[in-house]
Amino acid sequence: MATVIVNHRVNNFATWKIGFDSDNVMREGAGITTLAVGEKDGDPGMVYMVFDVKDLAVLGTFMSSPELQQKMKDLGVISAPEHMIIN
């Protein structure tokens, strides 16, 4: 298991958060547990998410899936996600 921190910029945090929360079942089905979500202090719209991930290969498949890419676009994600893995 690894902890992964992901960040990206969004148009509107409140709108994005509603969509993010609605995807929890899909994340958990991929072995991804959400630990924390929030905006960067002093930089509204820069979103940080912290996850526990059972399998990094599954995370890669999940993050690159066309369904997730479309959902991110629909929810106003305006920058490519960046991530850091903490073992």
Q: What is the CATH number of the domain that holds 35?
A: 3.30.70.100
Residue 77 lies in domain: 2-86
pLDDT tens-digit readout, 54-72: 999 998 899 899 999 999 9
Q: Name the domain count of the chain.
A: 1
Torsions phi, psi for 41 (to 5 deg): -60, 125
8 Å CB contact between 3 and 53: yes
The band of 44, judged by pLDDT with boundaries at 50, 70 and 90, is confident
Residue with tokens 């148009």: 11
pTM for this predicted structure = 0.90
